[in-house]
């Protein structure tokens, strides 16, 4: 059993993409960060983050390393969070491209909704589910980001852009964000995910999900979800070792070498 406040094993899928940044934040929040490169490692963790990167590549590598079915089974019982490309990979439907998807989250996603890499931007977001999410804006970093076109079933919107675009969603134990919390000094979204993992062992998670509803839209108010300490200290690292050799930046395929810069993120 996981004890609230105790260290948990939190996995980050380390096949490709910006997994190092997530790992660094998990460590700063005093939990064990696990680079997940093999399906059997899923048995060792309490929750999983699927990072931003290139969603087609992540999907192909997941097929290659026989991750698809184990990940689907994991999603039935344990929390998963997908950021950017991870959102695409979780979705049941995307607007174009024939690529491998987990198809576990009842959302339809529009890829590259804001254009090319040069159209990347940062904006303040209201996210009622996180601590002080209505009064303290969260810095949303969007890099060739997707948006959610449709939500179905039990999926709920957690946050919107000012034009009404849905950029954060939750369905039971799964959450997905269009933006990159791991590239900021604000750890509130990671803390929210950790609370979902902790609460998963004590029940009542479904009652807390989706309280924001459409109240997350800019300019409106709503009940906040779970609270967590706002961690402001320490900017996450930008590079780290990936696979056998070399530094991985934003992309860095598992088991390969080579240095990539921050602007190398793709969806």
Catalytic annotation, residues: 84, 180, 182
What's the per-residue H, E or C state across the chain?
CCCCCCCCEEEEECCCCCHHHHHHHHHHCCCEEEEECCHHHHHHCCEEEECCCCHHHHHHHHHHCCCHHHHHHHHHHCCEEEECHHHHHHEEEECCCCCCCCCCEEEEEECCCCCCHHHCEEEEECCCCCCCCCCCCEEEEECCCCEEEEECCCCEEEEECCCCCEEEEEECCEEEECCCHHHCCCCHHHHHHHHHHHHHCCCCHHHHCCCCHHHHCCCCCCCCCCCCCCCCCCCCCCCEECCCCCEECCCCCCCCCCCCCHHHCCC
């Amino acid at each position: 059993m996981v004890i609230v406040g105790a260290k948990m094993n939190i996995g980050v899928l380390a096949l490709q993409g910006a997994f190092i940044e997530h790992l660094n934040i998990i460590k700063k929040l005093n939990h064990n960060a696990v680079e997940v490169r093999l399906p059997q490692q899923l048995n060792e963790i309490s929750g999983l983050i699927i990072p931003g990167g290139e969603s087609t590549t992540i999907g192909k590598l997941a097929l290659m390393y026989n991750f698809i079915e184990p990940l689907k089974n994991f999603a039935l019982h344990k929390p998963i969070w997908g950021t950017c490309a991870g959102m695409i990979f979780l979705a049941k439907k995307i607007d174009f491209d024939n690529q491998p998807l987990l198809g576990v989250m009842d959302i339809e996603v529009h890829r590259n909704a804001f254009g090319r890499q040069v159209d990347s931007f940062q904006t303040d977001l209201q996210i009622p589910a996180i601590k002080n999410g209505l009064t303290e804006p969260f810095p949303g970093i969007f890099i060739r980001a997707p948006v959610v076109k449709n939500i179905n079933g039990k999926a709920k919107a957690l946050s919107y852009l000012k034009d009404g675009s849905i950029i954060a969603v939750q369905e039971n134990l799964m959450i997905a964000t269009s933006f990159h919390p791991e590239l900021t000094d604000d750890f509130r979204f990671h803390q929210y995910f950790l609370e979902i993992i902790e609460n998963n062992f004590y029940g009542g998670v479904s009652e807390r999900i989706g309280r924001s509803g459409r109240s997350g839209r800019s300019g409106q108010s709503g009940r906040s979800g779970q609270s967590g300490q706002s961690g402001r200290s320490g900017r996450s690292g930008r590079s780290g070792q990936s696979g056998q050799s070399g530094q991985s930046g934003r992309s860095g395929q598992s088991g390969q070498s080579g240095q990539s810069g921050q602007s190398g993120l793709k969806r």
